[in-house]
Amino acid sequence: MRLLLGSLAGAAIVATACGSLAENGSLAGPSASAATSKNTLIVGGRDGVRVMDSGGKQIADLGRVIGTADWRYAFAVAIDSSGNTTLRTVDPGSAATVRGLPLAGRWEAVGGYDGGPTGLSHDGRWLALTAADVPGRFAIVDTTGGVQPRVVNVGPSELSTSRFAFDAISDNGESLYLIEHLVGTQYRVRVLDVRSGLLLPGAIIDVKQLASTADANGVMSGTYTSSAAGPNGQWFFSVYLHPAMGPYVHALNTTSRIAECILDLPTFGKAGQVEMAKQPYWAVVLGKQLTGSRVYAVNGALGEAAVIDPEAVKVTRTSTFKVPRPTQATTGFVPRPAAAVSPDGYRLYALGDKGIFVLDAMDLSLRATFEPSSSFRSLAVAPDNATLYALTSDGATIVALDARTGRPLTTLTLSATADYLAIPSR
């Protein structure tokens, strides 16, 4: 399992729409009023994160930062000339530093600032950093500054690289989960007890699935795609692609240190070359309704979806929906995220090779297809459920759509390409 978040790129932005640009550069015409101007967009990538309003005006340049799940805070890691590090807590709305925390030694983010693993716990309190010059060394940092950072080591420090990579950290900061990379796509999930600094023996596996996804030593095989936390952050759900069997969901309980493998996705055990080629479009996302929460595993390129009960940790419904016939052609990027649930919990949006598919989040029926001739790499839904933002596959343009009808509202052309979109919680 990997927790997704990350950062984005952008710069000066030109806004276009069905209306025209007024002399002052603001949007004119009916489409400008249709687009919700109160939305704040996070646009990010490996080069940094910029914050802008939904009219294209830049609000702040955050640089390379790690964002919390709700983007209420971000964290910047900087190494100074003396070889020490400062962790800054940043307000995304203003780029102002809220708190600075000095750390002895050279530390850096565990991820690549591209929307992948961030090193943050679900609640944003704990942040795992990796040593810039010592493979297998991690710092567990309390971002509130209330607890002194803990430094832990895994594997021989004399190696040039470490086979251990960050996977997750519990909300209590006591369990650091690591992916131990073995041969090819083989891996094991290990847990390091932060209090003692010890890597516990054995692997975190679902003993019920030893014959399907793991051997007796806990060795699994698969390629990670995306992940999402459950409603209380205790469980993390990640999609992996087994090289022979196809996609499955690995569910990790970060508090109890147990795992379960969910094998009920529509193509598990019968995935062919086409299904393998469309692996990057698998996404897991959390949806919250009045009646409870659901985790969705969906692939818009294949037209497949499943509902997972996050408490029972099992699939309760699967569905296939009509999409253009997929091919074996691969994409040059991993959509992040490849799916999104409306804040009210009733619409599920999924990216395909072409278009955005809108599903009823309750029964997984296909309700509409937006922009069927366009390709996208990231999605975000406004907090008021009214506007859907989609980043084009080349990372150069953001398209704003009416989230209910798909009617185009505004197009924002970025002066620098981006990898992903996000919208801060209000």
Note whether residue 3 is domain-resident.
no
Lowest mean pLDDT among 150-159, 187-196, 270-279, 390-399: 150-159
**If you search the block for the tokens 């750390």, which residue do you land on?**
103
pLDDT of residue 395: 96
Structure token digits, residue 306: 């499943």
Domain membership flag for residue 7: no
Cα–Cα dist 75/145, whole Å: 13
Residues whose CB is less than 8 angstroms from the CB of residue 138 and which lie 6 or more positions away in sequence, other chains included = 110, 128, 129, 130, 131, 151, 152, 153, 154, 166, 176, 192
Q: What is the pLDDT of residue 375?
A: 97
Q: Which helix (H) or strand (E) holds 276?
A: helix 273-277
Q: Is residue 195 in some structural domain?
A: yes
Rounded to an integer, what distance in angstroms lies between the CA atom of residue 157 and that of residue 379?
Answer: 40
Torsion of CA 358, 241, 421, 116, to 10 degrees: 160
* pLDDT digits 0-9 by tens, 304-352: 999 999 999 999 999 999 999 998 888 888 899 999 999 999 999 999 9
Q: Angle 213-219-220 (CA atoms, 0-180°, nearest 5)?
A: 35
What is the arithmetic mean of pLDDT over 394-422? 96
Separation between Cα atoms, residue 366 and residue 420, nearest integer Å: 25
What's the CATH code of the domain at 238?
2.130.10
pLDDT at residue number 161: 65
132 occurs within a structural domain: yes
Q: Which two tokens stand for residue 179?
A: 């992916």
For residue 169, give the nearest of 146, 186, 150, 183 by alpha carbon.
Answer: 150
Q: What is the pTM of this model?
A: 0.87
- Residue 301's domain comprises 13-422
Paired tokens of 330: 């691969």
Find tokens 């594997």 and name the residue.
Answer: 155
Cα dihedral 368→370→372→375 (10° resolution): -130
The C-alpha atoms of residue 375 and residue 27 are separated, in whole angstroms, by 25
* Alpha carbon distance 307, 168 (integer Å): 23
The answer to whether residue 359 sits within a structural domain is yes
Q: Would you state the structure tokens that stand for residue 42, as one six-digit string?
A: 């996070």
Would 352 be classed as within a structural domain? yes
Specify if 6 maps to a domain. no
Residue 8, domain member (yes or no): no
Q: Please give the C-alpha separations between residue 185 and each of 232, 244, 274, 301, 349, in angstroms, as whole numbers.
A: 30, 11, 19, 23, 30
Q: Phi/psi of residue 280, each to 5°? A: -60, -20
Within its chain, how far is the Cα of 341 from the centroid?
13
Please tell me the total count of domains within the chain: 1
Q: Are 96 and 76 in contact (CB under 8 A)?
A: no
CA distance 360 to 181: 38
For residue 380, which of 393, 361, 399 has the smallest C-alpha distance?
Answer: 399
pLDDT tens readout for residues 111-170: 877 767 899 999 999 999 999 999 999 999 999 999 999 999 997 654 556 789 999 999
